Amino acid sequence: MEHRPLGRSGLLIAPLVFGGNVFGWTVDEPSAFRLLDRFVDSGLNAIDTADVYSRWVPGNQGGESETIIGNWLKRSPARRDRIVLITKVGAAPGADGKGLSAKSIAAGVEASLKRLRTERIDLYLSHRPDAATPIEETLGAYDALIRAGKVRAVGGSNSTAAGLREALDTAAAKRLPRYEVEQPEYNLYEQDRFEGPLRDLCIARGVGVIVYYSLASGFLSGKYRSKADLKGARSGGVEKYLNQRGLRILGALDAVARAHGAKPAEVALAWLIAREGVTAPIASATNADQVDSLVRATQLELSPQEIASLTAASD
């Protein structure tokens, strides 16, 4: 399976990343172990999580996803060197009320390492920009972690083009670690947050791109086609896609899926994998069949005409 570089970090990932946001939410620990085993055994190797997953679930505090992944790694320690482990900091204010201050990052990484039961995080991301903290302070904190061997590479998430440019320029000017990866929202329905200046910057500066909401909260799976379908824990964010444009996109996905004997979700992910500037999409799974579907998406080759038809449907 082809592996792609994450910026200039030296890290290589297969063209699809497992989204660990479902762990401790719609997937319990025993099920997560089985899914992760199946995912890694298929040849895929990157797992994405964050210190705040899944605190939105009643009774959770955040860190549940990292804890489950850490317990999986403890059970199968040989798998640690086979995976690229990605987590994030800064979505919630730290002890000093800031998300990406040196103090918040220093405390956050120790908590994540403990939950993940590992000595290093392969890719550590700023979960969202923190206007209260100078970027030089944030990059300086990351520099200390890299020098200590606790983190291999760093990146950003939810950045604007201007914010990412500032981070890259500051890193170069101050000889600090640069953001090797950006993690924006991007899918067949939602394209404006990545395409344009941000994508151009990532391509020009050699920044890897791992995109989230790859299936638009499950809408692009084709599971939701009317308001009557809005059931289940993850359906709350789907209603906004149920409009003429969304249904047109589903129609295009259906047509390409039929031509390949594939599922609409596999086509939507294959479209992302083929997009210029995208290193890999993130997608989650809650059962073995869905993991197998993720693998098939990485093997699906769309023709230029099929890619064009999907892109046109989303205009």
Q: Give domain limits for the chain.
A: 4-218+276-302
Fold of 4-218+276-302: TIM Barrel (3.20.20)
Average pLDDT of the chain is 96
Q: How far apart are CA 209 and CA 189, in angstroms?
A: 18
Over the stretch 5-30, which tens digit does the pLDDT of each residue have?
999 999 999 999 999 999 999 999 99
Over the stretch 39-70, which tens digit does the pLDDT of each residue have?
999 999 999 999 999 999 999 999 999 999 99
Does the pLDDT value for residue 94 go beyond 90?
no
pLDDT band at 197 (very low <50, low <70, confident <90, very high): very high
Does the pLDDT value for residue 235 go beyond 80?
no
Across the chain, where does the E strand assignment appear?
4-5, 12-13, 17-19, 46-48, 84-89, 121-126, 151-157, 179-183, 208-211, 280-283
Does the pLDDT value for residue 245 go beyond 70?
yes
What is the pLDDT, as a whole number, of residue 2?
87
Q: What angle do CA 199, 202, 207 make, to 5 degrees?
A: 145
Specify the DSSP class assigned to residue 70: H
Tell me the average pLDDT across 274-295.
98
Catalytic residue among 53, 142, 213, 241: 53
What is the pLDDT, as a whole number, of residue 1?
80
Decide if 53 is catalytic. Answer: yes
The first and second tokens of residue 49, run together, are 């999580």
Does the pLDDT value for residue 100 go beyond 70?
yes
What is the pLDDT, as a whole number, of residue 227?
82
Q: How far apart are CA 306 and CA 89, in angstroms?
A: 38
Does the pLDDT value for residue 112 go beyond 90?
yes
Q: How far apart are CA 89 and CA 103, in angstroms?
A: 12
Half-sphere exposure in the Cβ direction for 270 (13 Å, CA): 25
Whole-model pTM: value is: 0.96
pLDDT band at 234 (very low <50, low <70, confident <90, very high): low
Does the pLDDT value for residue 304 go beyond 70?
yes
Residue 85's SS3 state is strand
